[in-house]
Amino acid sequence: MSATTEAATGIRPFQIEIPEERIDELRRRIAAAQWPSGELVGDRSQGVQLEALQALAHYWLGEYDFGRIERRLNALPQFTTEIDGVDVHFIHVRSKHEDALPLIITHGWPGSVIELLGVIDPLTNPADGEDAFHLVLPSLPGYGLSSQPTEIGWDTGRVAKAWAELMRRLGYDHYVAQGGDQGAAVTDDMAREGPEGLIGVHLNLLRSALGSTASLPAESDQERAALEEVTTFKTSGFGYFLEQSTRPQTIGYALLDSPIALAGWILDHDTDSYYKIAAAFVDGKPAGNLTRDNILDNITLYWVTRTGVSAARSYWEGGRAAAQAAGKTPPPVTIPVGFTTFPGEIFRAPRSWAEKVYPTLVYFNEASRGGHFAAWEEPEIFAEELRAAFGSVRNGRSS
């Protein structure tokens, strides 16, 4: 990007610099952790297990290389640009194939751009140049290196509008969008908003099923199993969701003041990813790319950017937006939709559910491996899914 373009669009190059004293302070706090007594059960049913979190703290303090975040991020072209009052941080990697398809991928909670670093190379630089993407990876407002909103109203609908503006500013007049978790909500909102230039989306979480399964079929074995998985999550795994939707500031004090609190809160997302991450620390056996170092890059980024509260607040915004939208039918999605169900996801959405929510579904697949953090855990499989899902869109053969 030339200097003149930068001036015109307000896009500024960015490098992360973490002051040494901030790392020293973090290390001091980890070393001084006061621990609770252990859980009373042999599984995760009371939360993150003491052994797993202590193993994490031990590695964090003793072996983790705190220079990793700077090295990994600063090796990539990063920028910030002010949109709607928030400084949006993003990674922007153009493929060497000029006519690659522009793609914006949105991370989720408790993730960050860190979860997406492994997919950059496979997506921008695939074996077949026809499959290449120009990649835009923004940090959600209030997350990581984007600034924290100081006013209310930054729900996923507003983020979706900001992303459309970001792609416009980057000069992309045709592009696709992808997301899981919170990123799925943003991407769904983009698809419903239908900004000019957005020609397709791919999702790996059927967000609306977590709101209500009332309209979804529950006849086949697969459908009934998915329904049961949703119910299990909403009855026993929903605590963090409700807490952040209602009192983000309350949990936030501990997340800002205690790295152990932050790590514990981040580790306990869903059953599958929890056990995978716990195994990485306790047994040294990571699942795919969910390695100790990668997990700690993400947690450390939350700590040094002091975004525990502001990220949690995005759920509060989601709750507020849902209350305001209650009873209203959201606009239909009219562009092509691709969906991949990963086997370790909170619930394995069957094709019938994806079709019900997205009548314009053009691609559906069940991946062989991977869970809720699919891009992070299995970057190659995730990249293959995106290539396959966007193949028809790319060639202009979508209906």
Partner 1 sequence: MSTTVETATAIRPFQAEIPQDEVDDLRRRLAATRWPDKETVSDASQGVQLAKLKGLVDYWATDYDWRRAEAKLNELPQFVTEIDGLDIHFIHVRSSHEDAMPLIVTHGWPGSIFELLKVIEPLTEPASAGDAFHVVIPSLPGYGFSGRPDGPGWNPDRIARAWDELMKRLGYDEYVAQGGDWGAVITEAMGRQAPSGLRGIHVNLPASVPPDVEAALNGTGPVPEMTDEEQAAFDGLAAARKSGFFGYFIALTSRPQDVGYGVTDSPAGLAALFFWHPGFATWSFGTDPKDPKSKDDVLDDISLYWLTNTAASSGRLYWEHGGAFPTSATALKVAEITVPVGVTVFGEDGFRPPESWTRRAYPTLTYVNRVDNGGHFAAWEQPQLFSEEVRAAFRSLR
The mark string for 167-206 relative to partner 1 (x by CB under 8 A, - otherwise) is ----------------------------------------
Give the shortest CB-380-to-partner 1 separation in angstroms: 32
Residue 40 interacting with partner 1 (CB under 8 A): yes
Give bridge partners of residue 177 from the DSSP assignment: 104, 201
User: Least Å distance between CB 121 and partner 1?
Assistant: 34
By CB under 8 A, the residues from 85 to 104 that bind partner 1 are none
Sites for partner 1 among residues 316-335 (CB under 8 A): 316, 319
Cβ count within 10 A of residue 46: 11
By CB under 8 A, residue 3 contacts partner 1: no
Q: Which is nearer to partner 1, 102 or 142 (CB)?
A: 142
- What whole-number distance in Å separates Cα of residue 273 and Cα of residue 254? 23
Q: How far apart, in whole angstroms, are the C-alpha atoms of residue 206 and residue 217?
A: 14
Neighbours of 45 (CB within 10 A): 12
- Closest distance of CB 242 from partner 1, Å: 4
Residue 376, interface with partner 1 (CB under 8 A)? no
Site residues for partner 1, 98-157, by CB under 8 A, read 148-152
Using the contact rule CB under 8 A, the part of the chain among 168-176, 243-251, 277-285, 382-390 near partner 1 is 243-251
User: Taking the complex as a whole, how short is the minimal distance between the CB of residue 344 and partner 1, in angstroms?
Assistant: 19
CA dihedral sign, ordered 133, 134, 135, 138: negative
Closest distance of CB 311 from partner 1, Å? 11
Q: Does 310 bind partner 1 (CB under 8 A)?
A: yes
CA dihedral defined by 241, 266, 306, 170, rounded to 10 degrees?
-80
- Measured from the CB atom, the residue of 42 and 396 that comes closer to partner 1 is 42
Q: Counting contacts by CB under 8 A, is residue 65 touching partner 1?
A: no
Candidates 248, 338, 344, 350: give the one binding partner 1 (CB under 8 A): 248
Task: Write the secondary structure of the chain as one string of H (helix), E (strand) and C (coil).
Answer: CCHHHHHHHCEEEECCCCCHHHHHHHHHHHHCCCCCCCCCCCCCCCCCCHHHHHHHHHHHHHCCCCCHHHHHHHCCCEEEEEECCEEEEEEEECCCCCCCEEEEEECCCCCCHHHHHHHHHHHHCCCCHHHCEEEEEECCCCCCCCCCCCCCCCCHHHHHHHHHHHHHHCCCCCEEEEECHHHHHHHHHHHHHCCCCEEEEEECCCHHHHHCCCCCCCCCHHHHHHHHHHHHHHHHCCHHHHHHHHCHHHHHHHHHHCHHHHHHHHHCCCHHHHHHHHHHHHCCCCECCECHHHHHHHHHHHHHHCCHHHHHHHHHHHHHHHHHHCCCCCCCCCCCEEEEECCCCCCCCCHHHHHHHCCCEEEEEECCCCCCCHHHHCHHHHHHHHHHHHHHHHCCCCC
Q: Is 282 in the site for partner 1 (CB under 8 A)?
A: no
Size of interface with partner 1, in residues (CB under 8 A): 56
Using the rule CB under 8 A, is 261 a contact of partner 1? yes
Out of 110, 157, 252, 371, the only residue in the binding site for partner 1 (CB under 8 A) is 252
- Report, in Å, the least distance between residue 240 CB and partner 1: 7
**To the nearest whole angstrom, how small is the minimum distance from the Cβ of residue 95 to partner 1?**
38
Among 178, 258, 271, 298, binds partner 1 (CB under 8 A): 258
Sheet with 361-366: strands ordered across = 11-14, 78-83, 86-93, 133-138, 101-106, 175-179, 198-203, 337-341, 361-366
Question: Residue 49 or 78: which CB sits closer to partner 1?
Answer: 49
Is 272 a residue that touches partner 1 (CB under 8 A)? no
Report, in Å, the least distance between residue 19 CB and partner 1: 14
Nearer to partner 1, 60 or 265 (CB): 265
CB of 386 to partner 1, least distance (A): 33
Near partner 1 by CB under 8 A, which window of 7-15, 158-166, 235-243, 339-347?
A: 235-243
Comparison of 158 and 313: residue with beta carbon closer to partner 1: 313
Kindly indicate which of the ranges 223-231, 244-252, 330-338, 344-352 contains the residues binding partner 1, using the contact rule CB under 8 A. Answer: 244-252
Question: Which residues sit at the interface with partner 1, rule CB under 8 A?
Answer: 33-41, 46-50, 53, 148-152, 236-240, 242-258, 260-265, 268, 306, 308-310, 313, 316, 319
